[in-house]
């Protein structure tokens, strides 16, 4: 809950609107008219800064944070818009790597909400603006008011019809494509790719790791050719870690910016590029809930706990592979899992079962889109996997810690960033740490 009274009031106004992040999505809108009208009523703040637009099934948050950290190191005035947040709404708007303060977000939200109310009175398209539209508009207001030179804008869902797609991204990044949100984006990777590449603007560079022989990669390539856009495919190598793959994508985007004669004032005016992504910059870009490790004491034992919001099978496989490179995370784990109903539950649980002999399923906190824990438990039984169902997330965490301690295993919290956010405070408290302010 917000500590700032004005932000709490603005959030109360905001929460009266449709929030597609938390609700079933089968009837989502099919146009950008509300967002376009809302932005126009606010003076089109998205036109006051240059932007890099980032889409993809997984990795878009980390790639966005890497680009922001690099441009900050270069001495540029940069902002980042991200979703969802893990613990605080202010995480979604970042200025040179620092969360926006609550008072600033409150003022921007109030401005966006006032424009929404005016649209309702006038009966114009912004009367249908959603929770995410208003928050996106608030972020763009903040970027305009703080005179950002650049903004790294992460897509919320899909791309073509996403609220963020009113920006004129000079570079578009599509990290990867997996099957998710199929009821909205399509039931094939090719169809989903068509939605995500909808962020690409004519002649803007497209950065992607997707292979030209891949069905989704072919869709991206065809769209780039149609728009006269250069296509860049970084090659991090088949054994690259998740971080190395993300760094390769961010580095390619930075090199393209350098080709657009974007300079680094902090480095004597040198062209920006992948060279900015040194270890210090990469460390500054690490986000909570992405392979985040916290060790807690359970009785006399130190229990490693890893928090990661993986929610699709291919990403979970990569996460588990990367974690296995650390000796005390190379063995079996106990997993605490919540999944949205639109995720590939069978594929996810099957992948998890390769490393987790026991799974504790729980509800998706604060959302009506979660798959019931009892249903997931029945699915695990059909795959000959041991599991338990505990709807309360905090009790599920305590039970998972007990099971992991008994089995001399480590503990993984995964399946959703909402679950990670609901449990992260309890985990860091158990470790004797305090979450960052």
What number of H helices and E strands is found in the chain?
Answer: 15, 16
Q: Tokens in use for 257?
A: 């910016």
157-184 burial, b for 16+ CB within 10 Å, e for fewer?
bbbbbbbbbbbebbbbbbbbbbbbbeeb
The closest alpha carbon to 317, from 357, 349, 274, belongs to: 349
pLDDT tens sequence across 299-326: 788 999 999 999 899 899 999 999 999 9
Q: Give me the torsion for CA of 350, 351, 353, 355, rounded to 10°.
A: 170
CB 155, CB 192: distance < 8 Å: no
Mean pLDDT of 414-427: 93
DSSP E strands in 338-423: the ranges are 358-361, 386-389, 410-414
The closest alpha carbon to 18, from 10, 9, 27, belongs to: 27
Res 437 pLDDT > 50: no
Half-sphere exposure at residue 265, Cβ-oriented, CA atoms within 13 angstroms: 6
DSSP 54-110: EE-SSSHHHHHHHHHHHHHHTT--EEEE-SS-SS-GGGGEEETTEEPPHHHHHHHHH
Position 237 scores a pLDDT of: 80
Res 436 pLDDT > 70: no
Res 181 pLDDT > 70: no
Position 13 scores a pLDDT of: 86
The closest alpha carbon to 346, from 371, 321, 325, belongs to: 371
Res 434 pLDDT > 80: no
List phi, psi (to 5°) of 74.
Answer: -70, -10
Omega within 30 of 0 (cis) for the link into 413? no
Position 424 scores a pLDDT of: 93
pLDDT tens sequence across 347-400: 999 999 999 999 999 998 877 678 999 999 999 999 999 999 999 999 999 999
Position 182 scores a pLDDT of: 46
Res 328 pLDDT > 60: yes
Position 205 scores a pLDDT of: 97
Measure Cα distances from 364 to 291, 340, 391, 420 in Å.
19, 7, 9, 10
Residue ranges of domains in the chain, CATH in brackets:
5-284 (3.40.1190.10), 292-430 (3.90.190.20)
Confidence of residue 2 (pLDDT cuts 50, 70, 90): low
Mean pLDDT of 219-245: 94
Q: How far apart are CA 319 and CA 329, in angstroms?
A: 11
0.85 exceeded by the pTM?
Answer: yes
Mean pLDDT of 294-303: 88
The Cα angle at residue 289 between residues 323 and 335, in degrees rounded to 5: 55
Identify the residue with better confidence: 163 or 429.
163
Res 289 pLDDT > 70: yes
Q: How far apart are CA 293 and CA 395, in angstroms?
A: 20
Q: How far apart are CA 321 and CA 429, in angstroms?
A: 28
pLDDT tens sequence across 37-86: 999 999 999 999 999 999 998 899 999 999 999 999 999 999 999 998 99
Res 27 pLDDT > 60: no
pLDDT tens sequence across 147-173: 999 999 999 988 999 999 999 999 999
Res 184 pLDDT > 80: no
The strand pair at 78-81 and 93-95 is best described as: antiparallel
Mean pLDDT over each residue of the chain, to the nearest integer: 91
Res 29 pLDDT > 80: no
Mean pLDDT of 126-140: 95
Position 207 scores a pLDDT of: 98
Res 16 pLDDT > 90: no
């Amino acid at each position: 809950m917000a500590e700032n009274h004005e932000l709490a009031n603005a959030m109360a106004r905001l929460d009266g609107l449709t929030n597609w992040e938390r609700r079933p999505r089968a009837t989502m809108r099919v146009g950008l008219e509300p967002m376009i009208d809302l932005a126009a009523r606010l003076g089109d703040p998205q036109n006051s800064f240059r932007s890099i637009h980032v889409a993809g099934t997984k990795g878009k948050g980390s790639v966005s944070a890497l680009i922001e950290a690099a441009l900050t190191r270069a001495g540029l005035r940069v902002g980042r818009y991200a979703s969802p947040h893990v613990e605080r709404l202010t995480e979604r708007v970042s200025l040179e790597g620092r969360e926006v303060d609550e008072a600033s977000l409150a003022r921007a939200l109030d401005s966006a909400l006032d424009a929404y109310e005016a649209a309702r009175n006038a009966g114009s398209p912004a009367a249908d603006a959603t929770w995410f539209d208003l928050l996106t508009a608030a972020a763009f207001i903040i970027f305009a008011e703080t005179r950002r030179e650049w903004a790294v804008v992460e897509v919320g869902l899909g791309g073509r019809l996403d609220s963020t797609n009113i920006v004129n991204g000079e570079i578009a990044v599509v990290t990867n494509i997996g099957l998710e949100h199929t009821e909205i984006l399509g039931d094939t990777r090719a169809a989903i790719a068509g939605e995500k590449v909808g962020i690409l603007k004519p002649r803007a560079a497209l950065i992607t790791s997707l292979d030209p022989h891949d069905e989704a990669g072919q869709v991206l390539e065809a769209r780039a050719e149609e728009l006269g856009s250069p296509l860049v495919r970084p090659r991090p190598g088949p054994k690259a870690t998740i971080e190395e793959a993300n760094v390769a994508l961010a580095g390619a985007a930075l090199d393209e910016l350098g080709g657009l004669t974007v300079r680094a004032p902090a480095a004597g005016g040198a062209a920006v590029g992948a060279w900015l992504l040194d270890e210090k910059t990469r460390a500054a870009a690490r986000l909570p809930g992405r392979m985040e490790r916290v060790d807690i004491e359970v009785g006399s034992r130190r229990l490693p706990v890893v928090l990661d919001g993986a929610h699709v099978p291919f990403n979970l496989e990569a996460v588990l592979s990367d974690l296995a490179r650390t000796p005390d995370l190379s063995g079996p784990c106990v997993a605490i899992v919540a999944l949205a109903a639109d995720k590939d539950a069978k594929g996810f649980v099957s992948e998890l079962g390769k490393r987790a002999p026991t799974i504790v399923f729980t509800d998706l906190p604060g959302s009506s889109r979660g798959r019931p824990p009892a249903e997931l438990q029945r699915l695990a039984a059909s795959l000959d996997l041991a599991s338990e169902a505990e709807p309360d997330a905090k009790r599920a965490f305590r039970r998972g810690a007990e099971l992991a301690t008994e089995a001399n295993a480590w503990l993984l919290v995964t399946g959703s960033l909402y679950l990670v956010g609901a449990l992260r405070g309890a985990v860091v408290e158990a470790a004797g740490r305090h979450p960052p302010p």
